[in-house]
Amino acid sequence: SQQGEEDPQALSIQEGENATMNCSYKTSINNLQWYRQNSGRGLVHLILIRSNEREKHSGRLRVTLDTSKKSSSLLITASRAADTASYFCATETGANNLFFGTGTRLTVIP
Amino acid sequence: EAGVVQSPRYKIIEKKQPVAFWCNPISGHNTLYWYRQNLGQGPELLIRYENEEAVDDSQLPKDRFSAERLKGVDSTLKIQPAELGDSAVYLCASRETSGTDTQYFGPGTRLTVL
Q: What is the pLDDT of residue B100?
A: 65
Determine the residue of chain B that is closest to A38 in CA distance.
B107
Residue B98 has pLDDT above 60, yes or no: no
* Among the partner residues B41, B42, B91, nearest to A42 by beta-carbon distance: B91
Residues of chain B in contact with residue A102, where contact means CB-CB under 8 angstroms, are 40-42
Q: Which of A85, A83, A80 is nearest to A110 (CA)?
A: A80
Residue B1 banded pLDDT, cuts 50, 70, 90: low
Half-sphere exposure of B12 (CA within 13 A, CB side): 1
Looking at residues B24-51, what average pLDDT do you find? Answer: 93
Q: Do B87 and B10 form a contact (C-beta atoms < 8 A)?
A: no
Q: What is the pLDDT of residue A97?
A: 84
Q: Do A33 and A45 form a contact (C-beta atoms < 8 A)?
A: yes
Question: Which range is most confident: A106-110, B2-6, B39-43, B93-97?
Answer: A106-110
Looking at residues B57-76, what average pLDDT do you find? Answer: 92
Determine the residue of chain B that is closest to A46 in CA distance.
B102
Q: What three-state secondary structure class fits A30?
A: coil
Q: Which of B3, B69, B45, B40 is nearest to A93 (CA)?
A: B45
Residue A3 has pLDDT above 70, yes or no: no
